[in-house]
């Protein structure tokens, strides 16, 4: 992946951004399986959240405002939703990533208003 980083990061004009997000999430899957701390969090989280916001906008996904416990500013995801009121998420960023990528939130404490968790899944 070291050699692929430059291509994923910028040479493909954003076409590989969903791949970059998927690779980051897969690394979280591995950490989670091995019981390592920081699955779906850590130093790369700000980049992953930026990718998540971009991917959800690009795909016209459900609009959502995420008020994250571990990030100062609200994160706005998804595209225009017409007349539907934007959904709202309150909780930590790792749980948000888990929900958007179809991973179990593992009993995490969070609130989701205006949408069902299944509606957030990018892969479902």
**According to the model, what pLDDT value does residue 5 have?**
57
| C-alpha dihedral sign at 76, 81, 83, 86 | negative
Report pLDDT digits (tens) over 85-107. Answer: 999 999 999 999 999 999 989 88
**According to the model, what pLDDT value does residue 10 have?**
60
**According to the model, what pLDDT value does residue 77 have?**
96
Cα–Cα nearest to 104, from 115, 118, 90: 118
- Cβ atoms of 98 and 105 within 8 Å: the answer is yes
Report pLDDT digits (tens) over 5-46. Answer: 555 656 666 777 788 888 889 999 999 999 998 899 988 899
Rounded to two decimals, the pTM is 0.87
Domain layout of the chain by residue ranges = 4-120
**Kind and range of the H or E run holding 87:** strand 87-91
**What topology is assigned to 4-120 in CATH?**
Nonspecific Lipid-transfer Protein; Chain A (3.30.1050)
Angle at 16 between CA 13 and CA 17, to 5 degrees: 90
């Amino acid at each position: 992946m070291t050699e692929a980083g430059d291509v994923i990061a910028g040479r493909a004009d954003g076409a590989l951004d969903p791949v970059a997000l998927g690779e980051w999430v897969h690394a979280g899957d591995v950490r989670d399986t091995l019981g390592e701390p920081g699955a779906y969090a850590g130093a790369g989280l700000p980049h992953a959240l930026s990718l998540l916001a971009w991917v959800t906008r690009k795909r016209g996904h459900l609009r959502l405002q995420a008020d994250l416990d571990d990030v100062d500013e609200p994160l706005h995801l998804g595209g225009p939703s017409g007349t539907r009121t934007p959904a709202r998420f309150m909780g930590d960023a790792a749980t948000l990533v888990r929900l958007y990528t179809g991973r179990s939130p593992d009993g995490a404490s969070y609130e989701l208003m205006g949408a069902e968790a299944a509606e957030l899944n990018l892969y479902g």
